[in-house]
Copies of this chain bind each other. A is one copy, B any other.
Amino acid sequence: MISRPLVKTFLLCCLIAQLSLPSLAQTDSLMGFSRGGSQSQLAIEQRYDEMLQAQNLDDWMKFMSARPHHVGSPYDKQVVDFMTNKFKEWGYEVKVESFDILFPTPKVLQLELISPTRYTAKLSEPPVEGDVSSTLTDEALPPYNCFSVDGDVTAELVFVNYGLPEDYEELEKLGVDVKGKIVLAKYMGSWRGIKPKVAAEKGAIGCIIYSDPQDDGFFQGDTYPEGPYKNEFGVQRGAVMDLPLSPGDVLTPGYGATKKAKRLAKEDAPALTKIPVLPISYHDALPLLEALEGPVAPGSWRGGLPLTYHIGPGPATVHLKVAFNWDMKPAHNIIATLRGSEYPDEWVIRGNHHDAWVHGALDPVSGMVILMEEARSVSELVKSGHSPKRTIVYCAWGAEEPGLIGSTEWVETHEEELKEKAVAYINTDGSGSGFLYAGGSHTLEKFFSGITEVVMDPQTDVPLLKRRNAYENLSGEDNWSHFKLYALGSGSDYSPFFQHTGIASFNLGFGGESSGGEYHTMYDTYEMYKRFKDPTFQYGVTLAKVAGRTTLRLANAEILPFEFQHFTNTVAEYVDEVIKLADALRENTEKENKRITEGVYALAADPSKLFVVPEPKPSVPYFNFAPLQNVLDELKLQAQTFEEVSKTASISEADKQKLNQLLKDMERSLTREEGLPGRPWFKHHIYAPGFYTGYGVKTLPGVRESIEQRNFEQVDVQIKLVAEVLSRFSDKICEAVALMK
């Protein structure tokens, strides 16, 4: 434990050290800190760690997840008030910024099998023994898919596997058409909103989504309450808006849903589904699947229910009726600010959402209470004399569940200020235990890796990097020389910061030893969390150490710890991938077309079964990847020069400020104002959620998706655009180097 006078000494050292050279190379000192600054920072971190109390996480989770607290619910307001008071108590400047957003809730949810047998779907999640929270069904929203349109349809059923474009190609081969049918799709394989989107594109008139026990149920392990996996009644709620088009309030796409904002009519909102959608349990899916005939589903489509999976269409005929209250509800964002002592106009933003589908003990409360404990400990640091140099903004977002709405509206509203001031955004959401997973900007990968080398795994007492490396090693990966950030797609509140605004971002969490089936069900409760996720909150405290260090080092760094070799190497991998993707698609298309034209398909098929030989596809031309390859060479050179110069540079205070401004804006130079093809909201040109994956990332998205979606005339255009972006980025590194020389 470090004593208060010692801290003061360190702070003094720090002030002196700022005049000498801070390190970007993380040799003997922390990245972005001088040697003296490092010592000071390490002392601060040690004190910060000592402040962290697991019991707080437990107490706050118990309170915040005690009752259902979805958007607009009475308990959501209580949770907001509770947190607001906490932040105030800890000395933060707190604002609650609320937006009026469209949040449909169920009025009628009805699903019946009407022939050849009859079955009325239960569509409810009964209380389970030992979980008092699960008894509060009256306050909870029943299972539904938010932003489904109203609908009342009756039709034959077709089982469509995960309901992805490739599944429909398979259906075509089997001679099955979904036009005018209701599709039954398994959850997983993509973000849920993709399923009704593709189904509607194919002419289906309704979409039912269920959790198959092979993916998410007894096949995985014992079910709740005996174990953590999804029981037969559990249903995954969730939004089905067209998220890959843009998240946020569906009536104010691209701008803040403020009181005065002009709103679209609901009927004109492009993000609503085109057909009615309903999620169900595997208990309810069983009779539907049992009533299907037609071809047996391909091997990889079959799930864990005790039946032979048939595709249909029919004879199962279902009646699906859904209707919603299309009400406006408040999305409350809590913004708690600690003004920076030296650079108040440079913001390090740390966020987690607070709204849940039901109790949300894991999602989002587990992450929210970690953030709160970070904020509390930082406030203790302030009390003991350390005020961070940059402004730290703690955010508790509302209305994340229906579509990242609170954060998106806030970012859209404050876009210009954020572009000017934001240094980075650090996100968490539900978090469990086991191994650290972190996604983010590769311009900060080296910086972040340093943190994973010093924070210890609570179970094994080795650095988090080392434990994660053990896991990766067993999975067949080579040893990790550094902690690898995954590329960010979508699925939590970093999206508006990162992909829309170009603010360097992180998404952090623990997992791997806390799997379960509670996601967006009635059973994501405190009782469940305490048994199966992180019973003693030891990983919660560990994540507070990681996220706290990330926040504090960014807030205190003398020179912002961006560097560009990790980014360049990562982009080089992406370029390699898209080149291989084009080659593989070309080769496969040739092979497939040859099979079609040479009659191989027809010959291999069983003549006693219907098989429709597919049409040959247009062959894949060769693309000009040279602009990307050339700019990569340039980038490598600049990144290396930056690395070398930063080791020896001596820099004036004035230039340091210029340099920090430049570094802060680097990530944003990876965006383009016009956004990605067909979805202008997504401006980042290196990372985006996939148009047909929803959450899953597509790196170099303009290029990659043009190839994947066979828009071949777009590929060279997109290559040039990304190359331009990277060239601009490279020029900026050059500017940074000039400042340091």
Judge whether A308 and B218 touch: CB under 8 Å.
yes
Of A229, A307, A599, A601, which is in contact with the most chain B CB atoms at under 10 Å from its CB? Answer: A307
- CB of A460 within 8 Å of the partner chain: yes
- CB of A382 within 8 Å of the partner chain: no
Instruction: Produce 1/0 per residue, A211-222, CB < 8 A to B.
Output: 001000011111
Of A219, A221, A601, A608, which is in contact with the most chain B CB atoms at under 10 Å from its CB? Answer: A219
- CB of A473 within 8 Å of the partner chain: yes
- CB of A434 within 8 Å of the partner chain: yes
Judge whether A219 and B606 touch: CB under 8 Å.
no
**Pick from B220, B302, B307, B603: contact of A460, CB under 8 Å:** B603
Question: What is the CA–CA distance of A227 and B308 in the complex, to the nearest angstrom?
Answer: 10
Question: What is the CA–CA distance of A219 and B302 in the complex, to the nearest angstrom?
Answer: 7
- CB of A108 within 8 Å of the partner chain: no
Q: Quote the shortest CB–CB distance from A404 to chain B (angstroms).
A: 32
Question: What is the CA–CA distance of A510 and B442 in the complex, to the nearest angstrom?
Answer: 56
List 20 contacting pairs A-B, 8 Å CB cutoff, sorted by A.
Answer: A218-B306, A218-B307, A219-B302, A222-B308, A223-B308, A304-B306, A305-B306, A466-B603, A467-B603, A467-B604, A470-B601, A470-B602, A470-B604, A471-B603, A473-B595, A473-B600, A473-B604, A474-B595, A474-B600, A513-B606
Known contacts A221-B296, A296-B221; is-contact A474 B306 (Cβ 8 Å): no
Additional A-B contacts beyond A229-B308, A306-B306, A462-B603 (9; CB < 8 A): A218-B308, A219-B308, A222-B296, A304-B304, A466-B603, A467-B604, A470-B600, A470-B602, A474-B604
Instruction: Produce 1/0 per residue, A603-616, CB < 8 A to B.
Output: 11011100000000
- CB of A459 within 8 Å of the partner chain: yes
**Pick from B222, B308, B460, B606: contact of A607, CB under 8 Å:** B460
Residues of B within 8 A of A304 (CB): 304, 306
Question: What is the CA–CA distance of A471 and B599 in the complex, to the nearest angstrom?
Answer: 11
Question: What is the CA–CA distance of A302 and B222 in the complex, to the nearest angstrom?
Answer: 13
Q: Quote the shortest CB–CB distance from A171 to chain B (angstroms).
A: 18
Residues of B within 8 A of A459 (CB): 607
Question: What is the CA–CA distance of A602 and B460 in the complex, to the nearest angstrom?
Answer: 9
Instruction: Produce 1/0 per residue, A428-440, CB < 8 A to B.
Output: 0000001000000
Residues of B within 8 A of A471 (CB): 603-604
Interface of chain A, main secondary structure: loop
Question: What is the CA–CA distance of A101 and B384 in the complex, to the nearest angstrom?
Answer: 92
Instruction: Produce 1/0 per residue, A470-481, CB < 8 A to B.
Output: 110110000000
Residues of B within 8 A of A606 (CB): 434, 513
Of A308, A459, A473, which is in contact with the most chain B CB atoms at under 10 Å from its CB? Answer: A308
Closest to A227 in B: B308
Q: Quote the shortest CB–CB distance from A532 to chain B (angstroms).
A: 10
Considering only residues 571-595 of chain A, those with a C-beta below 8 Å from chain B are 595
Closest to A306 in B: B306
Known contacts A434-B606, A470-B604; is-contact A213 B296 (Cβ 8 Å): no
Residues of B within 8 A of A595 (CB): 473-474
Report how many copies the assembly holds.
2
Q: Quote the shortest CB–CB distance from A467 to chain B (angstroms).
A: 5
A interface residues, how many (CB within 8 angstroms) = 37
Question: What is the CA–CA distance of A296 and B220 in the complex, to the nearest angstrom?
Answer: 8
Residues of B within 8 A of A602 (CB): 460, 470
Residues of B within 8 A of A213 (CB): 306
Q: Quote the shortest CB–CB distance from A328 to chain B (angstroms).
A: 44
Question: What is the CA–CA distance of A399 and B599 in the complex, to the nearest angstrom?
Answer: 44
Considering only residues 594-638 of chain A, those with a C-beta below 8 Å from chain B are 595, 599-604, 606-608
Residues of B within 8 A of A460 (CB): 602-603, 607
Closest to A594 in B: B473
Question: What is the CA–CA distance of A218 and B309 in the complex, to the nearest angstrom?
Answer: 9
Judge whether B221 and A308 touch: CB under 8 Å.
yes
Question: What is the CA–CA distance of A213 and B606 in the complex, to the nearest angstrom?
Answer: 24
Closest to A435 in B: B604
Residues of B within 8 A of A220 (CB): 308
Q: Quote the shortest CB–CB distance from A409 to chain B (angstroms).
A: 40
Q: Quote the shortest CB–CB distance from A219 to chain B (angstroms).
A: 6
Residues of B within 8 A of A467 (CB): 603-604
Question: What is the CA–CA distance of A608 and B434 in the complex, to the nearest angstrom?
Answer: 11
Question: What is the CA–CA distance of A513 and B302 in the complex, to the nearest angstrom?
Answer: 19
Instruction: Produce 1/0 per residue, A418-452, CB < 8 A to B.
Output: 00000000000000001000000000000000000
Question: What is the CA–CA distance of A306 and B604 in the complex, to the nearest angstrom?
Answer: 34
Question: What is the CA–CA distance of A4 and B608 in the complex, to the nearest angstrom?
Answer: 39
Considering only residues 216-243 of chain A, those with a C-beta below 8 Å from chain B are 218-223, 227, 229
Closest to A457 in B: B603
Instruction: Produce 1/0 per residue, A554-586, CB < 8 A to B.
Output: 000000000000000000000000000000000
Question: What is the CA–CA distance of A267 and B305 in the complex, to the nearest angstrom?
Answer: 46
Question: What is the CA–CA distance of A606 and B308 in the complex, to the nearest angstrom?
Answer: 36
Q: Quote the shortest CB–CB distance from A511 to chain B (angstroms).
A: 12
Question: What is the CA–CA distance of A347 and B600 in the complex, to the nearest angstrom?
Answer: 39
Of A296, A600, A603, A607, which is in contact with the most chain B CB atoms at under 10 Å from its CB? Answer: A603
Question: What is the CA–CA distance of A579 and B661 in the complex, to the nearest angstrom?
Answer: 59
Residues of B within 8 A of A307 (CB): 218
Judge whether B601 and A474 touch: CB under 8 Å.
yes
Q: Quote the shortest CB–CB distance from A303 to chain B (angstroms).
A: 9
Question: What is the CA–CA distance of A237 and B546 in the complex, to the nearest angstrom?
Answer: 59
Closest to A600 in B: B470
Of A223, A304, A434, A471, which is in contact with the most chain B CB atoms at under 10 Å from its CB? Answer: A304
Closest to A222 in B: B308
Residues of B within 8 A of A434 (CB): 606
Q: Quote the shortest CB–CB distance from A605 to chain B (angstroms).
A: 9
Residues of B within 8 A of A306 (CB): 213, 218, 304-306
Judge whether B308 and A513 touch: CB under 8 Å.
no
Closest to A473 in B: B600
Q: Quote the shortest CB–CB distance from A556 to chain B (angstroms).
A: 32
Q: Quote the shortest CB–CB distance from A306 to chain B (angstroms).
A: 4
Question: What is the CA–CA distance of A512 and B606 in the complex, to the nearest angstrom?
Answer: 9
Closest to A221 in B: B296
Of A221, A227, A434, A600, which is in contact with the most chain B CB atoms at under 10 Å from its CB? Answer: A600
Instruction: Produce 1/0 per residue, A502-522, CB < 8 A to B.
Output: 000000000001000000000
Question: What is the CA–CA distance of A296 and B218 in the complex, to the nearest angstrom?
Answer: 11
Residues of B within 8 A of A604 (CB): 467, 470-471, 473-474
Closest to A471 in B: B604
Instruction: Produce 1/0 per residue, A195-220, CB < 8 A to B.
Output: 00000000000000000010000111
Of A221, A227, A434, which is in contact with the most chain B CB atoms at under 10 Å from its CB? Answer: A221
